[in-house]
Structure 1
């Protein structure tokens, strides 16, 4: 029996409900193409997209700050306990170093996610907003819309884990780890002034020389990752300039 109201015959197995969102005409399926041809509509969509990306960037920025806050809090607690009594073992400070390193790795992973949204916001700012304010300077990226489209279709991380770790070290964790190193050296030297560092640095059956060598190797790697010169993959980070100077990236 033929279907009524122009619908498909249920017997053919191809019946679709009138409310089925997958049953779209070609024009409805490519509504984005129509918006791209309408400047007013496209401007509205890009404005909403920019606000959305900015909100997600802010959310991930707060997650970075939360990780740093926890690292500082735990570090302060460990140092307070380590120096509260001469009988407390010195290696508790090294436990603080390991804990800070764990927080560093967590924050580096979060930074990579944060950088995805920060790079999108920079594309909007450098090509849409900056060009609207001063068209004479031209676009920073001539194909920025295509680049943003590719990123929306296939989101990818923009920076390597090494660069992310180096960034967080330079910004926060190199200073925190240096404080822990200074505290540990003071702890093994000041609380037993009559003994040498090789003796006071020992942990159980591990000789002090080995402990000092391991700590030295760890900090050599930390400072190498933090300050070894390399080309940055992160797009649009702040650059040095004279105070009060407006300068282009």
Structure 2
């Protein structure tokens, strides 16, 4: 059991590193795009929107990786809750009496535990919503104050697309991200440490 647990920890660690690697790429891309977009007034504002598209691609990739990470993390949490926690304090009993057949089924037929939408919500809350918000603020500053003499909303135009269409599309996209991030849901990623859980433990202590 100790070797099994160590192997699962190692696998979870590798997938955790893959998540961090994608986030680092996204931050590096944002820094490069913003540096170039604000290097001169003649740079087109839609370069920042290209950054939004690329960060969204990273978000989708990371959500897929998070689903894989959650598979291994859920196994680790099963062992922690029902083997090691019980060994340290048997008076609390077994948290999940069905944990053995459930873990056995997962080893026989591995499957993802959470939906793609929940994985996207997790990554938006943890990393990507602040990143895309930085891009949105930078884009608004770019089209308002470095607009080449054009007035709002004409300064947001891209080629033949009028500015109001671009603004409507961007507003709808960010509203979609906010809806995915903050809508009430029952989280299927059990055992995931969240800020609300940290606050609850602070109250208990």
What TM-score do the two structures reach when normalised by structure 1? 0.79
Residue 240 (1) aligns with residue 198 (2): yes
- 1:168 corresponds to: 123
Deviation at 1:246, TM superposition (A): 6.4
Aligned residues: 202
- 2:47 corresponds to: 92
Deviation at 1:140, TM superposition (A): 1.4
Residue 66 (1) aligns with residue 21 (2): yes
**Alpha-carbon separation, structure 1, partners of 2:117 and 2:147:** 39
Deviation at 1:195, TM superposition (A): 3.2
| Structural mapping, 1:110-125, within 5 Å | 110-125=65-80
More helix by share: 2
Residue 144 (1) aligns with residue 99 (2): yes
Residue by residue over 1:164-211, the C-alpha shift from the partner in whole angstroms, topping out at 9 and shown as x without a partner, is 000000000000000000000000001138532211000010000000
Structure number with larger C-alpha Rg: 1
Could you tell which deviates more after superposition, 58-67 or 196-205? 196-205
Deviation at 1:244, TM superposition (A): 4.8
Residue 132 (1) aligns with residue 90 (2): no
- 1:189 corresponds to: 144
Is the contact between residue 42 and residue 148 of structure 2 (CA under 8 Å) also seen in structure 1? no
**Alpha-carbon separation, structure 2, partners of 1:202 and 1:213:** 11
Sort the Cα spacing of 1:243 and 1:147 in 2 relative to 1 into closer, same or farther, 3 A: closer
What TM-score do the two structures reach when normalised by structure 2? 0.95
- 1:77 corresponds to: 32
Structure having greater relative contact order (Cα 8 Å, sep ≥ 6): 2
- 2:168 corresponds to: 213
- 1:225 corresponds to: 180
**Alpha-carbon separation, structure 1, partners of 2:179 and 2:202:** 32
- 1:37 corresponds to: none
Is the contact between residue 113 and residue 189 of structure 2 (CA under 8 Å) also seen in structure 1? yes
Query: Which runs of no fewer than 5 residues in structure 1 stay unpaired?
Result: 1-45
**Alpha-carbon separation, structure 2, partners of 1:192 and 1:219:** 22
Query: Which runs of no fewer than 5 residues in structure 2 stay unpaired?
Result: none
**Alpha-carbon separation, structure 2, partners of 1:183 and 1:243:** 37
Is the contact between residue 156 and residue 164 of structure 2 (CA under 8 Å) also seen in structure 1? yes
